[in-house]
Structure 1
Amino acid sequence: MVKYLKAELVSILETVDSHGQLVGIMLIGAEEWGDKAVPIIIGSAETLSIKKGLGEVDFPRPLSHDLFVEIIEALGAAVEKITIDALVSNTYTATVYIKDRDGKLHTFDARPSDAVALAVRVNAPIYIAESLGKYAEDLRKYLPPPSGKITEE
């Protein structure tokens, strides 16, 4: 049985891959991992969508994830949680858990980027398989050190 840890989206970064394409890197961390997070490469459209869901960018029209949330809510359902489950053939897998109006829980296979894009919009909890911790990397590799030093006077 897979054990999950409560996780968080530590950061979403934009970068250029080895082919010159704009991509994103989602850093998913868990308290148990300290200053480490699992980096997951995602597409530029999903990067934009997650940043919009976080309120970091504005976009004049609804994106696909906005539409999906509107449909879910119009049907009386809600995103209960999302899980990042495994790494299979160099591809991360995720599951979206949706509770319908009758209280029945439905699960949907998803890309982690789509699952996180939904979770950030509705403030749903994110969980990650504990076993994925072996892929966690030091955050200093991705994030600059905090600016300014606190000094004692």
Structure 2
Amino acid sequence: MVEMEVQGITLDPITNMPVLLLKGKENDEILTIWIGVFEANSIAMHLESMTYPRPLTYDLFTNILNSLSTSVENVIIHTLKDNTYYASIILRDKEGRTVEIDARPSDAINIALRSGCPILVSEEVLAEANNGKKEKIDEEDLKEWIESLKPEDFEKNIEF
């Protein structure tokens, strides 16, 4: 498994759909996942540290888990099948039992961001997503690209 971090969200210039960019925490591997507008909006709001007086859906879910003394151990993007990614959320209850919950990657990552748990991607998924070759990205190029994004780049599909 490769631990990854959310680097940001951008829009696919052809489809105008949000694209989530993950980067390896200890390496330069990247993974891009096209996600829904609402899920992208929620990730972007969290990354921008936006808060609301009442909990939104992913915050509510995290609050429920906390009130039940259940922690999110990690989320795993484990399968790529027919151009669809599959993920699991691994929960641990107060007795130490673990439960694996099937989830869409965008939902799992929203939960991971709010709970502070690791985001793991299987090496098989990375290899398949990158057509068997290890994709590398220059960190300075990535930083420059993310810094060049403007709010207008998101206005067509995402409302903040």
- Fold-level match, TM-score > 0.5? yes
2-side partners of 1:42 and 1:75: how far apart?
29
2-side partners of 1:9 and 1:84: how far apart?
13
Show the counterpart of 2:158.
none
Structure whose residues are more often strand by fraction? 1
Show the counterpart of 2:4.
7
1-side partners of 2:37 and 2:7: how far apart?
18
- How far did 1:85 drift? 0.6
Show the counterpart of 2:32.
39
- How far did 1:77 drift? 0.5
Structure whose residues are more often helix by fraction? 2
Show the counterpart of 1:125.
118
**Alpha-carbon spacing, 1:15–1:6, altered in 2? closer, same or farther (3 Å):** same
**1:1-153 alignment to 2 at 5 Å?**
4-15=1-12, 18=15, 23-31=17-25, 33-34=27-28, 36-134=29-127, 135-136=129-130, 139=137, 144=145
Q: TM-score, normalised by structure 2?
A: 0.74
Compute the RMSD of aligned alpha carbons.
2.6
Unaligned runs of 5+ in 1: 148-153
Unaligned runs of 5+ in 2: 149-160
How many aligned residue pairs are there? 140
Max radius of gyration: which structure? 1
- How far did 1:23 drift? 3.1
- How far did 1:32 drift? 6.0
Show the counterpart of 2:155.
none
Between stretches 127-136 and 61-70, larger displacement belongs to: 127-136
- How far did 1:26 drift? 1.1
Show the counterpart of 2:152.
none
Deviations 1:17-50 (A, max 9, x none): 63xxx5321112225652x411101111111111
Letter in 2 for 1:26: L
Verify the 8 A CA contact 2:76 2:121 in the aligned structure 1.
yes
- How far did 1:58 drift? 4.0
* Corresponding residue SS for 1:93: strand
Verify the 8 A CA contact 2:8 2:146 in the aligned structure 1.
no
2-side partners of 1:122 and 1:84: how far apart?
17
Verify the 8 A CA contact 2:3 2:26 in the aligned structure 1.
no
